[in-house]
Amino acid sequence: MDRVRTLAVVGAGAVGLAVAWRCAVAGWSVTLFDPAAGSGASWVAGGMLAPLSEGWPGEERVLEFGAASLARWPEFAERIRVETGVEVFVAEQTLTVALDSADAADLRTVADWVGGHGHELRVLDRAGVRALEPTLSRTVRAGLLAPTEPAIDNRRLLDALRTACGSAGVELRAESVEDIDALPHDQIVLAAGAASPRLWPRLPVRPVKGEILRLRHRPGAAPPPDRVIRARVHGRPVYLVPRASGIVVGATQYEAGFDATVTVAGVRDLIADAEAIVPGIGEYELAESSVGFRPSSPDNLPLIGRLTDRLVVATGHGRNGMLTVPLTVDAVSSLLAGEVLDDAKVADPQRFSALSAPSLSSAGGIR
Ligand SMILES: Cc1cc2nc3c(=O)[nH]c(=O)nc-3n(C[C@H](O)[C@H](O)[C@H](O)COP(=O)(O)OP(=O)(O)OC[C@H]3O[C@@H](n4cnc5c(N)ncnc54)[C@H](O)[C@@H]3O)c2cc1C
């Protein structure tokens, strides 16, 4: 009888947890390493699954990669529900709104371009927007409805994935991995988010700081919108994602290394911009402000592929790491089975020359 193969997964964010679960179910003996499981970007994220609303001419590969993962979400969420009883979806649709004529023109550009790639988006006038979301500001003049773009509660997702990992026999070790080569496992998946280059320094992944707020609904305050609401206010992107208990308002975006400070200006801008779209949020409780680090790559696509015979990387998911979990899991499972998934070929890390340079040892050479 064949020996059970061992797999180490480094990092227990949404990516590492989901990979560990799938591989344990597939028969691997899985050890998941993380000194603070579920505390990274996956904990602070907004939970939008919005590749179509974020589409922009010229970004075909990002659109198609995101759309391929969005198509996998219903089945992935259903597997989670069956295994754990947890429903992760918190909204069914996304509505991007425009406050001025330039933004309204941009919405039409997105609708035409994304529509030209076979995905449905609907342009709405002022009355159409108000009919869907009556609590939005009267200054909103147009909208773009993405009827197939839902949102998830990322914290529910993490809890559910931990439960699923436990049931599938994944061993969770609250330890930091300092040296990939020292792990004795047959195969290793590196999924340490923005910290991944600390373990494999040639990875072109950098932290992009994001501040985000959690607002709690109070009695008498207007209810949260039914949909994800996205907008640009004074040139800054802002979004509101409904939750059972309130609204998540995100997010700032800075190149600031691993600076984990929540700044006054960040909170001020997020609240002011969100209030310009949904005036009623002033009545909510400011329950939490937090910071996360998007593991970002130079071309806004993740890095999912083999680095050595023993090491697969799954990181660099940037601002779409929740969206792209289901496709990432399928891609990593395929790689571990010796295959490459068609939908994930664009994420091959060897597209970056620093990684395709010749290795000096079987473990990946000088890094
Ligand atoms: C403010 C903000 C809002 C966002 N909103 C959205 C959104 O709406 N939709 C969307 O799709 N995406 C969103 N994202 C992006 C998304 O959160 C990330 O792309 C995703 O969470 C990345 O998941 P991950 O598992 O790769 O990384 P993480 O969740 O960061 O997990 C990495 C894990 O690795 C662990 N680790 C690090 N070093 C080691 C080590 N040496 N040994 C062991 N473990 C280690 C860490 O402790 C951590 O738990 C947002 C991100 C931010 C910051």
Instruction: Give the dihedral sign, CA 131/133/137/140.
Output: negative
41 pLDDT above the threshold of 80: yes
Ligand 1 near 328 CB (within 6 A): no
Q: Is the pLDDT of residue 44 over 50?
A: yes
The single residue listed with the structure tokens 């979301």 is 133
What is the reported pTM?
A: 0.96
Q: Are 248 and 213 in contact (CB under 8 A)?
A: yes
Alpha helices by DSSP H, the chain: 14-25, 41-44, 60-70, 73-84, 101-116, 126-132, 154-167, 196-199, 264-277, 325-336, 353-356
Using alpha carbons only, give the angle 136, 138, 144 rounded to the nearest 5 degrees.
60
- Determine the CATH number of domain 92-150+207-296: 3.30.9.10
CA dihedral 48, 52, 58, 60 (to 10 degrees): 100
**DSSP sequence for 7-69:** EEEE--SHHHHHHHHHHHHTT-EEEEE-TTTT-SHHHH---B--TTTT--TT-HHHHHHHHHH
CB of residue 191 inside a 6 A radius of ligand 1: yes
pLDDT single digits (tens) 120-161: 999 999 999 999 999 999 999 999 999 999 999 999 999 999
- Give the fold, CATH level 3, of 1-91+151-201+298-367: FAD/NAD(P)-binding domain (3.50.50)
CB distance 47 to 241 below 8 Å: yes
Give the pLDDT confidence of 82-121 residue by residue, as tens digits. Answer: 999 999 999 999 999 999 999 999 999 999 999 999 999 9
* Per-residue pLDDT tens digits for 323-359: 999 999 999 999 999 999 999 999 999 999 877 654 4
Q: Average pLDDT in the 52-65 region? A: 96
192 C-beta closer than 6 A to ligand 1: yes
Residue that the structure tokens 């609401």 belong to:
229
Amino acid at 2: D
Atom of ligand 1 nearest to the CA of 15: 25
Domain coordinates in residue numbering, the chain: 1-91+151-201+298-367, 92-150+207-296
Q: What is the DSSP letter of 301?
A: -
Calculate the average pLDDT of the chain.
Answer: 95
For residue 280, the number of C-alpha atoms closer than 13 Å in the C-beta half-sphere is 18
Whether 209 and 295 have beta carbons less than 8 Å apart is answered as no
Per-residue pLDDT, 355: 77
193 lines ligand 1 (CB under 6 A): yes
- Find out whether the beta carbon of 50 lies less than 6 Å from any atom of ligand 1: no
DSSP codes of every residue in 252-279? --B--TT--PPPHHHHHHHHHHHHHH-G
> Helix crossing, 325-336 with 14-25: angle to 10°?
50
Residue whose CB lies within 8 A of the most ligand 1 atoms, among 178, 294, 297, 303, for a mutation test: 294
